[in-house]
Amino acid sequence: MSVSPKLEQKTMVTPSNRVVILGALSAIAIATARIYASEGAALVLAARNSERLKGLADDLRARGAVQVETAALDLETASSDAAAHLARWAQQLGGLDHVLVIYGYLGAQDKASNDAGELARILSSNFTSAVAWCEAAAGMMRAQKRGSIVAVSSVAGDRGRQSNYAYGAAKGGLALYMQGLAHSLAAVGARAVAVKPGFVDTPMTDGLKKGGPLWAKPEAIGEAIRRAADRGGPIQYAPGLWRLIMLVIRTVPAFVFHKTKL
């Protein structure tokens, strides 16, 4: 039986649709993966929980993904061997076009101020290990002279606040790193982007009071990540309104800012 050109085009994996998602079980990552699946992408999902990964893989295949591979591993620990993992996944997919770094750890600032282990975890999850993955991915992008790396940062990195300054410092450092990486990769035609969400309604923010116009759904951030992979500058706020909000917050004089309880 012959296959219609329309159907054949729909199921073909294109060079822009081979994607590794690190931290694939977060709400934002799942929303992003579903967008790619609807486009007929080939995906590698990396996270800790093998059973949940299997369930997500089945869901993404049902949504249109032409290939879904899973890797159950601790991304912080595995970052020391990031290049080998990425090379193996690229072989599985027949190439690699986008690496999305969507994992992180909010942590508790009060605990981090008195517990070196908590502080180390916040910094490692949100900066040190994420950078290791991005640098390994950058090596591949330089070699193939194309592709993109997208890392989820946060508006918390735009100005230090007493409630989460360890987390904010790590995310701010990640955004600055991605900005420099974008400059480095531009000469070879590859891209690096830091996506900076504001408040997002996810399990990670369950301890916060939610609701109102400043809160976004994971699906909206997933759309921003998908766009960032293909176009836009090295820093992308999600939603875009946060660029203006953070501009205002950054310009508040310290003697005024220090009177707040943010």
Mean per-residue pLDDT, 199-207: 72
pLDDT at 6: 40
Distance between first and last Cα of the chain: 64
Which amino acid is located at 7 in the chain? Answer: L
Alpha-carbon gap, residue 119 to 122, rounded angstroms: 5
Average pLDDT, the chain: 91
Band the pLDDT of 216: cuts 50, 70, 90. confident
User: Running DSSP on this structure, what letter comes out for residue 23?
Assistant: T
What does the pLDDT look like over 67-84, one tens digit per residue?
A: 999 999 999 999 999 999
pLDDT at 201: 80
What does the pLDDT look like over 225-252, one tens digit per residue?
A: 999 999 999 999 999 999 999 999 999 9
Sequence-separated (6 or more) residues with CB below 8 Å from residue 86:
20, 96, 99, 133, 136, 137, 140
Band the pLDDT of 195: cuts 50, 70, 90. very high
Q: How many Cα atoms are found within 13 Å in the side-chain-facing hemisphere of 42?
A: 17
What does the pLDDT look like over 144-170, one tens digit per residue?
A: 999 999 999 999 999 999 999 999 999
- The two three-digit tokens of residue 88, written as one number: 């193996």
Least confident span in 4-8, 34-38, 75-79: 4-8
